[in-house]
Structure 1
Amino acid sequence: MSAPPKAPAPARTGYRHVLAVPEFRAVFAAHVLSLLGVVVSEIALSVLVYDLTGSPLMSALAFAVGFLPYALGGTLLAPVADRFPARRVLVVCDLVCAACVAAMVAPGAGVGVLLALRCCVAVVSPVFAGTRMATLADVLGDGDAFVLGRSLIRIVSQSALLIGYGLGGLLLTAVSPRHALLITVGTFLASATLLRFGTRRRPARLRPEREKEGGTLGLLRNRRVLVLLLVFWVPAMFSVVPEALAAPYSDDLGAGSAGLGLLMCALPVGTIAGELFAGARLGRATRERIVLPLLCLAVVPYLGYALSPGLWPSLLLLVLAGACSAYTLGLDQWFVRAVPEESRGRAMTLLSAGLMTIQGVGMAGAGALAEVVGVRAAVGAAGVAGTVCCVALAVACRVTESRDGAARHMTGR
């Protein structure tokens, strides 16, 4: 059975035109529902664990265990994204998450069971995210429309940081944590339904006879792909440092809870603004040209923390740093161009798992460094080390870009 033809990208591509593609609307709506479910479940589970134990540490662990299994799931389960039809993988992942959250609602579920179920959801998450990203290329093609579709997914994810947890907190004033978890079950089931009936069935990307030709290690042996993965991962490790240290920094400034809220919001606001401007106002060629300059500037604003700025200058620095992340739109185009189509699902799964894992490493490292040198010095050090790493990665991109250019030339892209 041959693969159905890809949906043609809109002739004049923009966010509005991407949203006009019916299959993308289904994937996008399913993402919103899944994200809502994750946000509600994280808050409800944290509160539920605290109610059961009275321990702030155990409550925090309910959040932390959501990060830990990403590397495991992304590494061991990455091939699943290409070995089976994408729609089936997405629907099964949603159903597994719904089943795990439904089991959390059981009155007899103890803390150990709750945390184990949370780990199961986290193991599945990178497979779902990677398969969804690869599906966008099937739905929108692997050109400009794909980049804008990915951008919309990221914008929604960043927006969740601004409003999701606040809405989740309000929800828990009206219902118990276990009832809130039932809402999460509903969102996962709704997402599965949208994906099952709103997207077309496509065969598995990886044909059985080609199973031994590449694999995950083969993908990582591709120097261009490895460099691009590092460009996604490494800046993210340094960019989360101010977020990880926002509470002690706000305390140092005497800004209180209001200042803490502003510090937590500034980076996502800059990221959303940068994405929207690059996606709506810049052409495809321009977005690719600004990748390396913005990459080199990605964490430069953090150097300003060495000057002991007040609250408002600090917010400006964070907004600027967030806006520099607009380089990811052009980077998305390079990545989908560099990865063989039959390995696209596992590549996207690795990308998602690595991104979450390295952000957790960055947060932990930030806390450890701040214990020794203080908050401002830790953020400034992240700016120095991060800039050195980003410049080195920019050079590596230049060295490997001939391969990408050759691929573009051969395929007429």
Structure 2
Amino acid sequence: MSFQYLSGFDNEHQTEALPGALPQGQFSPQTLKYGLYAEQINSTAFTAPRADNRRSWLYRIRPSVVMGKFRHLEQDKWQTAPIDSERFPPDPMRWDPLPTIDDDVHFIEGMTTIAGNGDAASQTGFGIHYYQANVAMGDEYFYNADGELLIVPQQNSLLALTEMGRLQVAPGEILVIPRGVKFQINPVEGPIRGYIAENYGAPLQLPERGPVGANGYANDRDFLYPTAWYQDVEGDFTLTAKFAGELYQADMSHCPLDVVAWTGNSAPYKYDLSRFNAMNTVTFDHPDPSIFTVLTSPTNTPGTASLDFVIFPPRWMVAENTFRPPWYHRNMMSEFMGLIHGVYDAKETGFVPGGMSLHNCMTPHGPDAEVFAKASSAELAPQRYQDTLAFMFESCFPIRPTDYALASPSLQRDYSDCWQTLGKHFDANEQ
């Protein structure tokens, strides 16, 4: 199966699967070629400023209102903020990968909520989920009315079939699906697992570059959108919706992926993290991790994010006279980390691919004792961090783990032991 993509982050795109399906000069003429229907999907308010406004026009075989009534669908693993869990201390927390599923489970069924913050109803904060799937979704499709989905594959490639087209996404890439867009996700080459941020706040956008200037970090041209692709298939289908923290399901007599053409700037997209142009120090000191921000969901407080998506990719470290791993720190931002592959430089043992860690607001953290000793005596030649790709969901709001996560056998209850052998080196008489 071949794929073609439209490039560029947050730009106006237009694409058609049949010639002339996309009207010219206006969005909703009295009649459309091929007998199509015009339908608009808005990811922001109608009156959002032009720079922030997200919407697309879809030209489809049937409008989305052609469907049955929704019925409630029982589920217990996918939770929505505010997370209602027991009290939890501000201790650093770390998890091994969750147990592998044994039964046949598709993408929606294999969703487990690990933590969250804010409130989906007031459109603040985000949920953090761990997904696993070993079968395709078949005749079931899905959309999320509560938030935008940032999907970070960790094991094996997935194929996303969406209203706007198809995107195949491998570990080392990310997929973003806007609020309300219909899709299904299927394994390509074996069981899949990974991480998801369900963003309730402002749609993700590229961070400002500041003094870096016009180039660097994640560049617009490297974000890829799908070209139009449709299915004109009748039969027995179901559409599952996540709305107000609950799942609902409706019957349909046709496949909902029947968009023949679309134009706009609200659509699924993928990004290859290897294309991130990392900036780093060429003099001294370890820089703030904010320089590795790929996408951000800002709040109304300048420079403060409800959700930052930050990566720690392969890169050179050349800082002189510098303790090169991340320094010990306490942060007003809360940090949830995952490891896609390799080794994270501040935690060379105990933090494994598919695992997770949480350091909440003002919880002290930093390199473990082994890394501290090694970095303090290392020869400071230029060093290439090669086999590594970690990421962080960072937020100005405290992140609350779910009861499931707190009780999970994957929780490393001895995690804080990695710092307990950090000894005293103070000598007041040292010259």
Of structures 1 and 2, the larger Rg is shown by 2
TM class, shorter-chain normalised? under 0.3
Q: TM-score, normalised by structure 2?
A: 0.25
Q: TM-score, normalised by structure 1?
A: 0.26
Structure with bigger strand share is: 2
Higher relative contact order (CA 8 A, sep 6+): 1
